[in-house]
């Protein structure tokens, strides 16, 4: 039988946002299993937790990262305000303002997108993804 786990916030080492310095914000990877990941991200004004991307594959910080075809992701905004942006099939950019209590669901095969903090305070959000992308050191 599996054991219950309690992860204390002060036990989690924050990481810089992909390819950015500490000024962009921090990611706290709370849980990462073979089936899901659960993060709490803090994103500074003017930055994004993950710049324009699709859930396919990319290179970052000495790793090749590849998403499963059925990967899905959810953002839940705890505090702060920003704008969710996505690229349409015609190349136009759609966007919608988001703030505390809003949930953003990115289903599998989602279009290119980013959450941009265009506000004046940090955005704090919960991020859940299933299944987690495969990371390979290069």
Report if residue 5 sits inside a domain: no
Give pTM, 2 decimals. Answer: 0.91
Task: Take residue 104 and report the two structure tokens written for it.
Answer: 């953003």
In a domain, 102, yes or no: no
CB atoms within 10 A of CB 73: 20
Query: Residue 60 falls within a domain, yes or no?
Result: yes
Position 88 scores a pLDDT of 87
Domain count within the chain: 1
Residue 10, in any domain of the structure: no
DSSP 8-state code for residue 131: S
- Domain membership flag for residue 113: no
φ and ψ of 11, to 5 deg:
-90, -10
Q: Are 41 and 24 in contact (CB under 8 A)?
A: no
Domain extent, residue 47, equals: 24-95+119-132
What is the predicted pLDDT for the residue at 68? 94
- pLDDT tens for each residue of the chain, 138 residues long: 989 999 999 999 999 998 889 999 999 999 999 999 999 999 999 999 988 899 999 887 788 989 999 999 999 999 999 999 999 888 899 999 999 999 999 999 899 999 999 999 999 999 999 999 998 998
Residue 52 lies in a domain: yes
- Specify if 16 maps to a domain: no
Any idea what the CATH number is for the domain that residue 55 is in? 2.60.120
Confidence (pLDDT) at 63:
84
pLDDT of residue 59: 83
Residue 14 domain-assigned (yes or no): no
- At residue 81, the pLDDT reads 97
């Amino acid at each position: 039988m599996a054991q219950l786990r309690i992860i204390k916030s002060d036990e989690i080492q924050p990481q810089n946002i992909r390819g950015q310095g500490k000024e962009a914000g921090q990611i706290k990877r709370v849980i990462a299993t073979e089936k899901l990941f659960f993060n709490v991200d803090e994103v500074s004004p003017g930055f994004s937790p993950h710049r324009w991307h699709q859930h396919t594959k990319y290179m970052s910080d000495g790793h090749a990262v590849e998403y499963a075809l059925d990967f899905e992701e959810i953002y839940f905004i705890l505090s702060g305000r920003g704008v969710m942006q996505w690229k349409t099939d015609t190349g136009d950019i759609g966007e919608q303002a988001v703030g505390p209590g809003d949930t953003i669901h990115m289903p599998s095969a989602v279009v290119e997108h980013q959450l941009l903090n265009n506000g004046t305070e940090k955005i704090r959000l919960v991020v859940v993804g299933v299944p987690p992308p495969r990371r390979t050191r290069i």
